[in-house]
Homo-oligomer: A and B are copies of this chain.
Amino acid sequence: MQAESTPRRLVDLTPDECWALAASRPVGRLAWSGPSGPTVIPVNFVLDGRTVRIRTTAYSAAARECDDSPVAFQIDTFDSDDHTGWSVLIRGHAHLEYGEQALQDAPEPWISGPRTLLLRVEVAEITGRRLD
């Protein structure tokens, strides 16, 4: 561990590194431009090929504002003492899906109550950086 005051270098990650790191975390952040401005909501997710799968409800802000829209999905981990970490930024398009079939590949919900919608983000671009 370096001293807290040692500044780190910012290093670009390859797409393969980005996919592997993104898959290592259970929670990411869905971001979109809504009627109240930029919005960021943490969600648990699974990656399936080049698709991010999120479970939600018809009442959620994401379901009401994201369908068929450009979104970002961000995943990161940082060590506050060591000032190391990484961040991955996905850009893509969100689509809502209904029905039993859609939910078969959805993540288990962390929140109680019925969550019967799948929000699928088709990934157009993945980039990332780490503090080295």
Contacts and interface: CB of A to CB of B under 8 A. Distances in A.
A14 interface: no
Give the number of times this chain occurs in the complex, counting copies. Answer: 2
Interface in A49-101: 70-72, 74, 76, 78, 80, 83, 85, 87, 89, 91
A8 B78 CA distance: 25
A74 B8 contact: no
Q: Looking at chain A's contact residues, is the secondary structure mostly helix, strand, loop, or mixed?
A: strand
A80 B27 contact: yes
Given A27-B80, A111-B9, A40 B131 contact: no
A15 interface: no
A102 interface: no
Interface string A120-132: 0000010000010
